[in-house]
Structure 1
Amino acid sequence: MAGSTLRDVARRAGVSIRTVSNVVNGSVPVSDELRVRVQAALDELDYRPNLVARNLRRGRSGMIALVVPELDVPYFAELAREVITAARTHGYVVMLDQTDGDGERERELLGRESRATMFDGLLLSPLSISADELRRRTNRVPVVLLGEHIFNGSFHHVAIDNVAAARDATEHLLGLGRRRIAAIGDQPYSTGETAQLRTTGYRQALERAGLTVDEELIVPTPRFHRHLGAEAMERLLALPEPPDAVFCYNDLLAIGAMHTLARAGVRVPDDIAVVGVDGIQEGRYSSPSLTTVAPDKAAIARTAVSTLLGVIDGSAPAPTEAKAPHRLLVRQSTVATPAD
């Protein structure tokens, strides 16, 4: 029944309104017999709680914020969709913002008490702010961190195992017989932890295969954008001995690299195989389709949202480091006729 109220449910179940409220909110234990009777009435009347009223009673806004470096980067756009889906199941609305990876914008977001009152909690993917700065923040809004910025267990943090992901990508290329494998995307400076972790995994795979790491095959990029992947690939093709495979630190770099290879008449994967990281939809429809290490974005979102809600209501344990799974999706950029 559309628009059913607690009073309607109480009348149908033959109990008090307070008992129905206790069952709906889980705030006070009730007997199994009463819970079953009330739940049956809830189902029969198709009762839907008034989330706005519930949040007002709890002194909450019913909104959480997701802040990422760049909303137009497909990985973050796809992650945002999963976060919105996960939050909706808990009755929350998601506000979106971006920092452009700028440290001042990250500090401003965490330092303004007025902004903090707009939402109940924050999912933040930082690039520049340090753990010490986070600990010194002036507002107390609950925070869960996303991404691979290293925080040494000081905060609730959800990420993937970047070392393992990079190692898996590089070992896939090694398993195809490639031996001169380049890497595009290293960032050897303080805010480049994600890239550094992926470089570590790349090096580990080569060393385990008994190969010496050729430093000229590691090409840094300031960001993970298509045009930077294209430029890095031009640099690699100019070497006296170009690579026979390239591990790119994200899919956009890989797509840019394949653009350069196509313009140069280099065949992918025959001459140079290419693999990326992120599992974005764009890679599935590139030509050739892109082999990638795909993080489970839905799992990242579910874990991040449930952890944040636990911090908000005080039920979360001490700060945890949660690792989401990933898998290798083999496509045409490394195997001309992949099984998938």
Structure 2
Amino acid sequence: MAVKRRQPTMADVGALAGVTDRTVSNVLSGKVPVRPGTRDAVLQAVQTLGYQMNPSARSLRTGRTGFLTLALPDLTIDYFAELANAVLNEADRLGWSVTVQQTSTLRERELSLVSGAGRNFSDGLILLPHALDSRDRNLLVTDLPMVLLGERIFDGPVDHVTMSNVKAAQAATDHLLSMGRRRIAAVGPNPADTTTTAATLRLDGYRQALRDAGIDVDPGLIAPAVAWNEAHGVKAVDALVDHGVDFDAIFCFNDSLAFGVLHALRQRGIQVPHQVAVVGFDNVTATAYTSPPLTTIDSGVGVIAQTAVQRLIGRILGTLDGAPEVFVANFSLVRREST
């Protein structure tokens, strides 16, 4: 007859890690401060024993579930997938769990998350809105803590973690200008945008760089992309070439677009970077392995994820108070063989 194995307890974890039950609880609940060495010892003991906290018991004891919700528009986009991974890693490091939801840019899904109806078993929300915008900021006044990502809603009633879209796009365009390129196409604007978005901000940076260089902005060089994926990168190049537009460089508003652009240029027999130089935006992992490797903007996804998680947990635990703040991550240009 098989004997049922006893499930490890918090006391077992503490004994193995050489700490008290309370310290184990503090680590697993995300309470601070806990010394890094102690936290590592506890997490190692958890892994060794296969300990799993009872979420219901934890909720009754602390009033918290230990779960965060991360909501992103489209997890098939490399940047969003890597952002989700970075958020999961940071939350795990701090002893929290994350449920990830895809909004598919649907307004009703974003509203459900903000209202709480779509956030079962969660202490707080990290949201990158796409359908909501600054006109909806009053909807963000809720009981549950929230941190915003992206560019849709500024001056809202919650913490906001974002990136330097304008300056980074300007730096990408300046890099192409420094190479002597003067006919620089911009792939990524969305004609449907009626409010501030990453696309509008990156277009502003592109235009500013050209103006500073004394170059008129040619509308024919601005190639729209309704979706920021490889297929629309291909469509943009096809449209430029088929319409006889003369260009010697392309600034892509994200790396997924750039992957499609590189593919389309190769299919057309256009050499990169000799005939056309290409710059992307986000520095996702695959950029180092394209042919040729892609020059891109590192937008600081790791710092964005860490800051968002830490600020949200701080709001949940009450260790972070005061008025909502906006944090803007630094960026850098990563030069590779596509320029």
> What is the TM-score of this pair, normalised by structure 1?
0.83
SS at match of 1:149: coil
Q: Distance in 2 between matches of 1:192 and 1:281?
A: 27
**Equivalence for 1:287:** 291
Offset, 1:132: 4.2
Rounded to whole Å, the distance in 1 between the matches of 2:232 and 2:293 is 20
The answer to whether structure 1 residue 320 and structure 2 residue 317 are counterparts is no
Specify the alignment match of 2:75 in structure 1: 71
Matched residue, 1:176: 179
Matched residue, 1:229: 233
3-state SS of the aligned residue for 1:168?
helix
| Contact 1:116 1:141 survives alignment (8 Å) | no
Which stretches in structure 2 are left out of the alignment for 5+ residues? 1-7, 28-33
Give the aligned partner of residue 89 of structure 2. Answer: 85
> CA 1:24–1:260 in 2, change beyond 3 Å: closer, same or farther?
closer
Indicate the residue corresponding to 2:143 in structure 1.
140
Q: 1:250 and 1:4 mapped to 2: Cα distance?
A: 45
CA shift, 1:297, in A, is: 1.4
Counterpart CA distance in 2 for 1:22 and 1:85 is 21
Per mean C-alpha deviation after superposition, the further-off stretch among 199-208 and 317-326 is 317-326
Query: 2:11 maps to which residue?
Result: 5
Structure 2: which amino acid aligns with 1:198? R
Give the Cα separation in 2 of the matches to 1:132 and 1:271: 44
Pick from 216, 220, 228 the counterpart of residue 212 of structure 1: 216
| Aligned residues of 1:82 and 1:297 also touching (Cα < 8 A) | yes
CA distance in 2, matches of 1:278, 1:121: 26
Tell me if structure 2 keeps the 8 A contact 1:51–1:91.
Answer: no
- How many residue pairs get matched? 313
CA distance in 2: counterparts of 1:275 and 1:91, whole angstroms: 38
Say yes or no: does 1:199 pair with 2:230: no
Is 1:130 matched up with 2:155? no
SS of 1:179 mapped into structure 2: coil
Distance 1:43 1:129 in 2: 42
Structure 1 residue identity aligned to 2:89: T
Which residue is equivalent to 1:106? 110
Q: How does 1:47-62 map to 2 (within 5 A)?
A: 52=54, 55-62=59-66
The corresponding residue for 1:306 is 310
1:186 alignment partner, SS class? coil
Contact 1:111 1:138 in 2 (8 A): no
Corresponding residue to 2:153 among 150, 153, 161: 150
Cα root mean square deviation, aligned: 3.0
> 1:116·1:139 contact (CA, 8 Å) conserved in 2?
no
TM-score of the superposition, structure 2-length normalised? Answer: 0.83
Separation in 2 of the partners of 1:298 and 1:250?
A: 17
**8 A Cα contact 1:127 1:191, kept in partner:** no
Given that residues 303 and 329 in structure 2 are in contact (C-alpha distance below 8 angstroms), is that contact kept between their aligned partners in structure 1?
yes
What is the distance in 1 between the residues matched to 2:66 and 2:138?
25
Amino acid in structure 1 at the alignment position of 2:11 = T
TM-fit CA distance, 1:301 = 0.9
Q: Which moved more, 1:140-149 or 1:221-230?
A: 140-149
Whole-Å separation in 1 of the counterparts to 2:102 and 2:24:
39
The amino acid across from 1:226 in the alignment is: E
Contact 1:153–1:321 (8 Å) recurs in 2: no
SS at 1:169 equivalent: helix
SS at match of 1:323: strand
Larger radius of gyration: 1
Percent of aligned pairs sharing the same letter: 39
Within-5 A mapping of 1:243-258: 243-258=247-262
The DSSP-based 3-state class of the residue aligned with 1:120 is: coil
Gap regions ≥5 residues in structure 1:
27-34, 335-340
Shift of 1:164: 0.8
| 1:5 partner SS | helix
- Contact 2:140–2:158 (8 Å) recurs in 1: no
Matched letter for residue 331 of structure 1:
R
What is the distance in 1 between the residues matched to 2:327 and 2:229?
Answer: 27
Give the 3 Å change call, closer, same or farther, for CA 264–117 of structure 1 in structure 2: closer
Q: Deviation at 1:187?
A: 2.1
Provide the C-alpha distance between the structure 1 equivalents of 2:292 and 2:58, rounded to a whole number of angstroms.
51
